[in-house]
């Protein structure tokens, strides 16, 4: 085992955990979705305000570990201003990042600051923590009515 805690709990992650960005509700007409990780009880809600095809604003609230909170916080910063399709594609790329399936350096680089969460791929049981916010974002964009679950 060569896992290093410092790779997982990088300072940027600890910072987002302590001071999460966009940590509030959005008023209607923003749509929202609830995410739930039933295994650990983590819950969060993601709001998305779409203007045409553009993610004009995005925010979240919830309870969870540092990984899930930081992931949600960094996600809101990453998808703001993106088109709907770009946000969805980024969610897929992010999933590859945290499951260790991202191929080349170029793909990694395209994820920008989100790369800080790459360390999660060394901790299989923590992948769900990182992906909960992104699953929930996709549901919010799709206008899903049912809560999404990582199970």
Binding site for other proteins (CB under 8 A): 1, 3, 5, 8-9, 14, 17-18, 39-43, 63-67, 69, 123, 126, 129
Between 27 and 41, CB nearer to other proteins:
41
* Minimum distance, C-beta of residue 111 to other proteins, in the bound complex (Å): 22
H or E stretch at 39: none
Note the helical H segments in the chain: 5-8, 11-18, 66-79, 84-98, 105-110, 127-142
Q: Which of 38, 30, 84, 85 lies closest to 60 in space, CA to CA?
A: 30
Q: Looking at the chain, how many residues does it have?
A: 151
CB 137 within 8 A of CB 58: yes
Between 75 and 90, CB nearer to other proteins:
75
Between 30 and 65, CB nearer to other proteins:
65
Between 5 and 106, CB nearer to other proteins:
5
Which residues, including other chains, have CB under 8 Å from residue 147's CB and lie 6 or more apart?
33, 34, 35, 36
* Minimum distance, C-beta of residue 126 to other proteins, in the bound complex (Å): 7
* Minimum distance, C-beta of residue 3 to other proteins, in the bound complex (Å): 7
Between 55 and 74, CB nearer to other proteins:
74
* Minimum distance, C-beta of residue 63 to other proteins, in the bound complex (Å): 5
H or E stretch at 24: none
* Minimum distance, C-beta of residue 70 to other proteins, in the bound complex (Å): 10
């Amino acid at each position: 085992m060569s896992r290093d805690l410092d790779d997982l709990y990088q300072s940027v992650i600890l910072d987002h955990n302590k001071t999460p960005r966009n940590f509030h509700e959005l008023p209607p007409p923003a749509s929202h979705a609830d995410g739930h990780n039933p295994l650990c009880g983590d819950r969060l809600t993601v709001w998305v305000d779409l203007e045409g095809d553009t993610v004009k604003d995005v925010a979240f609230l919830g309870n969870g570990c540092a990984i899930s909170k930081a992931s949600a916080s960094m996600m809101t910063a990453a998808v703001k201003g993106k088109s709907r399709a770009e946000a969805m594609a980024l969610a897929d790329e992010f999933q590859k990042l945290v499951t260790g399936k991202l191929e080349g350096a170029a793909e990694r680089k395209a994820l920008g600051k989100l790369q800080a969460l790459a360390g999660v791929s060394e901790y299989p049981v923590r992948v769900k923590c990182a992906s909960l916010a992104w699953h929930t974002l996709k549901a919010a964009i799709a206008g899903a009515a049912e809560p999404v679950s990582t199970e």
